[in-house]
Structure 1
């Protein structure tokens, strides 16, 4: 018998909260069941297993993070948009470390669920839209997207792991990194000979 009120969404949110509390890699179906006050078997009516749950957490987090970025960057362009985008990314990673990790970890996601989820698609649109403001076109757009993602994720991952031991506050380095990215995006190097999209 299905527990009243238990849904795939409630199971996903419980899993996401647990991931933020203890880390995505430590989440188990039994822990989610305990958090919801149900037996393990009750969960399998709503999610197929741990991999399915992790995929759902990743999609939930992608939606949440994208909404934050969209709200932060609305009406902004150039450096203003870049800083707002980056700050919203970093803030989400700080506030929801387990959910954030789900968006950065290779997870097999049900194609039907992925097709219905607006977050990943909207994230791409927002990123490319911001970079179009710098006058970039392919293949430079793809290269710039990869650079931003590497910089943002690398910084927050190192920060979360306590990797910045120097006395200089990480916020100051973050601000300077964004200054440098803005300068690079404004002066993007020309393509190399033979470079293709």
Structure 2
């Protein structure tokens, strides 16, 4: 019989909080069970295993990130949309480091297609509309943006920029200016590219 009060949603939210506290890589069924004061077995009527739990946290993280991005993008285009999206990404990583790590978790194709992962990808492509990129350039640009955003915020959260006098926010703004310039001046695709 399932323990009263435990649901898959409640466990997922608690696992997300745990991820922010101890790191996504340290989220385990045992750690979550301890949080609720129950035995591991009590959780298995709600989740299949740790992979299922982590996938659920990833879906939750992507949904929250997509909701924030959608709100930030409303009525914006071009550099303003790029900056709004990037700021949501950066703020989320700093506020929720464990959930941010979960958002990078590789989901199986079926889960990804049915979750906010697809919505997040669509929002990323939405910020590129003003740049008028066609395929395969749009996909290349999405990958560039993801790489720059993830790389910057990962280094920032890890403290890699803290030992330099240059203001981190000023560097972030310049990085967005450079991305905007790169997107506006996207090189033409070579014939066999």
TM-score (norm 1): 0.93
Q: CA deviation at 1:81?
A: 0.4
RMSD, matched Cα: 1.4
SS of the aligned residue for 1:136 comes to coil
Structure 1 range deviating more: 33-42 or 69-78? 33-42
Mapped to 2, the partners of 1:136 and 1:56 lie a distance apart of 33
Task: Show the counterpart of 1:52.
Answer: 52
Runs of 5+ unmatched residues, structure 2: none
- Could you tell me whether the CA contact under 8 Å between 1:56 and 1:109 is conserved in 2? no
Moved more, 73-82 or 164-173: 164-173
The alpha-carbon deviation at position 109 of structure 1 amounts to 4.1
- Give the match for residue 17 of structure 1: 17
The question of whether the paired residues in 2 share the 8 Å contact of 1:30 and 1:40 is answered with: yes
Q: Is the 8 A contact 2:61 2:100 kept in 1?
A: yes
Distance in 1, matches of 2:35 and 2:160, equals: 32
Partner residue in 2 for 1:41: 41
Structure 1 runs, 4 residues or longer, greater than 4 Å off: none
1:54-89: CA deviations, max 9, x gaps?
Answer: 111100000000100000011100111000000001
Deviations 1:76-134 (A, max 9, x none): 0011100000000100111110111011133x5483x44432x1111111111211221
Q: CA shift at 1:37, angstroms?
A: 2.5
Q: Check conservation: 2:55, 2:105, Cα contact below 8 A.
A: no
TM-score between the two structures when normalised by the length of structure 2: 0.95
Q: Which runs of 5+ in 1 are unaligned?
A: none
CA distance in 1, matches of 2:109, 2:149: 27
- Structure 2: distance between partners of 1:161 and 1:190: 36
Rounded to whole Å, the distance in 1 between the matches of 2:98 and 2:108 is 17
Does the 8 A contact of 2:112 with 2:118 survive in 1?
Answer: no
Aligned residues between the structures? 192
Which residue number corresponds to residue 80 of structure 2?
80
